[in-house]
Amino acid sequence: MREKLLLLGQKFSQAAVQPVMFLTVMGIALAVAVIMQLGFMPSFIVFIGMLLKKMMDAMLNNLSVIFCVGLTTAFAKKKKVDAAIISLIVYIMFLASNNAWLTSQNMLAKPGAMGLFGTGQNTVLGFQVVDMNVFLGIILGCITGYVFNKLADVQFGDMFRVYGGSRFVFIVMIPITLVLAIVLSYVWPVVNYGINALSGFMKSAGAFGVFVYAFGNRFLIPTGLHHLLWMPFCFTGIGGTLNVAGKAAQGAVNIFYAEMGNNAHLTAIDPSIRFATFGFAKIFASAGIVLAMIKTAKPQNKKAVRGLLIPSLFVAMVAGITEPLDFSFLFISPLLWLVHGLLTGFSEMLLWILGSRTYSIYGLLDTVVCNSVISPKLSKIYIFFAVGIIMAVVWYFVFVFLIKKLDIKTPGREDVSEGEINIQTDGSIAVENVSGDQDSELFIEGLGGANNIAEVNNCFTRLRIDVKDVSKVNKEIISKGKQKGIVIKGNNVQIIIGMTVEDSKERLINVLNTKKE
């Protein structure tokens, strides 16, 4: 049961990452739009900035439907276009049926001085419904994706064939959606009360709450479940709710984006920002850790280690993708990983105590651009960078001390034969001489063959492959291909690739389809 729950959590995490990836672009575009509307800009630029802001606001205000379609499509194992269409239909059906039920039962809330804010209801795509925000998209996306995978291949006889397959999924989702629309009218207000209580508890926990959140967010990365921690705080009411310019924003990231779009009237950064600063470690810890591993590498290996780690450092600092770097020492020394988590928790707690209110969840690019439209008097971004430089030095000396004192075999501390080096699952350095489709061939062979592979997915940096019989998996064969680590959880095999993971996935699927023909 534990493994099933863990696998379920991982599947949700990897699916939820897909829509989140687009929000990075949205945040930067919104910041650019605000800059374009500054007083000294030409009128034409101001007009274009206004249009761009309207576009990004439309996306920000409709994240629920984006999550619904995104999750359903990510969960769907086949016929993804059909899955996307059905998910959109289901979402609209829910809005219509929920509004109809609230109307028929005289349960519609009446707008007050702040509109529907605080009433537990909201207007979504023109329908006044129970205010579930992003949770609505998550719930409908998960249910629709599950039903689609179960019933999308069901076929009937010739007379009723038109009602089989994806159409049958649609038919089944009609009563499910209707029941959900009615039940959630009564259940969600209770759930919302619990969400508000949890949000209030985290806020009342103060600096210690920031430490626990930051530590957990970093420490859970090997399991792939860290998304289940930061996503609710960043994109749902668990992270807080704030009325900005007459509209309710829920979640630390959504609140900041709303404040960014209304920066002219902003007098303070909402306290929910404490849940949206975990880009700090991605920027500064990465620098300290990489320099420490280069420093402690054997002289003859320093050049190779620099060539291996500096690209990972660049990706971590600029884009906020740290997994290629994380897996370079995680499996070698869990102690280093624990210390990394504790330093991360301490750093974000220190930022909060010192008054930094700087948004940072991805990397340096996103951090600089998004905070550029916020007054430094409010964001205290100078504290963010001052603490960052100091903590990067702390990370460096702590890692150098532990690596040398405990003789930890980080990259470059073992002798290797000639050839390009690569970090293996156990953290050792090995020769790498393969590329292209050869990697896919090795992965398939190491996964027990094409017939043993049930499903291929990916997240930010990992291939996530479900296999039928995990005993057939051979990690030694997989490690001969270009990868940065291998994690096996139940029947799910994760191969850490890096920023080129989507290309690797496409090549793997193409080779896999060829073998199955």
The pLDDT score that the predictor gives to residue 423 is 44
Domain for residue 44, yes or no? Answer: no
List, in sequence order, the alpha helices (H) in 118-165. 134-151
Number of domains in the chain: 1
Domain for residue 474, yes or no? Answer: yes
Q: Which two tokens mark 226?
A: 């860290």
Identify whether the C-beta of residue 508 lies closer than 8 Å to the C-beta of residue 22: no
Q: Is 121 helix (H, G, I), strand (E, B) or coil?
A: strand
For residue 459, how many other CB atoms are within 10 A of its CB? 21
Which secondary structure element, helix H or strand E, spans residue 495, and what is its range? strand 492-496
Domain for residue 29, yes or no? Answer: no
Separation between Cα atoms, residue 376 and residue 459, nearest integer Å: 34
Q: Which two tokens mark 25?
A: 């672009």
Which secondary structure element, helix H or strand E, spans residue 365, and what is its range? helix 364-371
Separation between Cα atoms, residue 110 and residue 128, nearest integer Å: 10
pLDDT in tens, the chain (517 residues): 556 666 666 677 667 777 777 876 787 888 888 888 877 889 999 999 899 988 988 888 888 999 999 999 988 988 999 999 999 999 999 999 999 999 999 999 888 766 777 788 889 999 999 988 888 999 999 999 999 999 999 988 878 888 899 999 999 999 999 999 999 999 998 888 887 787 778 778 889 999 999 998 898 877 666 777 788 888 888 888 888 887 888 889 999 999 988 888 889 999 999 999 999 999 999 999 999 999 998 888 888 788 878 888 888 888 787 877 887 787 678 899 999 999 999 999 999 999 999 999 988 988 998 899 899 999 999 999 999 999 999 999 999 999 999 988 888 886 443 334 444 444 444 434 445 578 888 899 999 988 898 888 876 677 888 898 989 999 889 888 888 778 887 788 888 876 677 788 888 888 888 876 5
Domain for residue 451, yes or no? Answer: yes
Identify whether the C-beta of residue 431 lies closer than 8 Å to the C-beta of residue 416: yes
Q: Which of 496, 362, 318 is nearest to 20 (CA)?
A: 362
CATH number of the domain at 455, please. 3.30.1360.60
Residue type present at position 102: L
Query: What is the DSSP-derived secondary structure letter of residue 465?
Result: E
Give me the count of residues in the chain: 517
The pLDDT score that the predictor gives to residue 416 is 44
Q: What are φ and ψ of residue 425, in 5° steps?
A: -60, -40
Separation between Cα atoms, residue 340 and residue 395, nearest integer Å: 8
The pLDDT score that the predictor gives to residue 276 is 93
Which residues, at least 6 apart from 499, have a Cβ–Cβ distance to it below 8 Å? 315, 319, 321, 324, 461
The pLDDT score that the predictor gives to residue 460 is 61
**Residue 459 annotated as catalytic:** yes
Q: Is 487 helix (H, G, I), strand (E, B) or coil?
A: strand
Q: Considering the candidates 68, 142, 370, 459, report the single residue annotated as catalytic.
A: 459
Which residues, at least 6 apart from 396, have a Cβ–Cβ distance to it below 8 Å? 287, 288, 289, 291, 292, 295
Domain for residue 393, yes or no? Answer: no
Q: Is 39 helix (H, G, I), strand (E, B) or coil?
A: coil
Which residues, at least 6 apart from 73, have a Cβ–Cβ distance to it below 8 Å? 18, 80, 83, 84, 87, 145
CA terminus-to-terminus distance, the chain: 35
Residue bearing tokens 């979640």: 251
Residue bearing tokens 């959504």: 254
DSSP bridge pairs for 420: 432
Pairing of strands 429-432, 127-130: unpaired
Which residues, at least 6 apart from 335, have a Cβ–Cβ distance to it below 8 Å? 402, 406, 408
The pLDDT score that the predictor gives to residue 426 is 42
Domain for residue 22, yes or no? Answer: no
Query: Directed axis angle between helix 80-104 and helix 166-204, to 10°?
Result: 70
Q: Which of 333, 497, 486, 311 is nearest to 413 (CA)?
A: 333
Range of the domain at 455: 434-516
Q: Which two tokens mark 507?
A: 């090549």
Domain for residue 217, yes or no? Answer: no
Identify whether the C-beta of residue 173 lies closer than 8 Å to the C-beta of residue 147: yes
Identify whether the C-beta of residue 210 lies closer than 8 Å to the C-beta of residue 348: yes
Identify whether the C-beta of residue 492 lies closer than 8 Å to the C-beta of residue 466: yes
Domain for residue 463, yes or no? Answer: yes
Query: What is the DSSP-derived secondary structure letter of residue 110?
Result: P
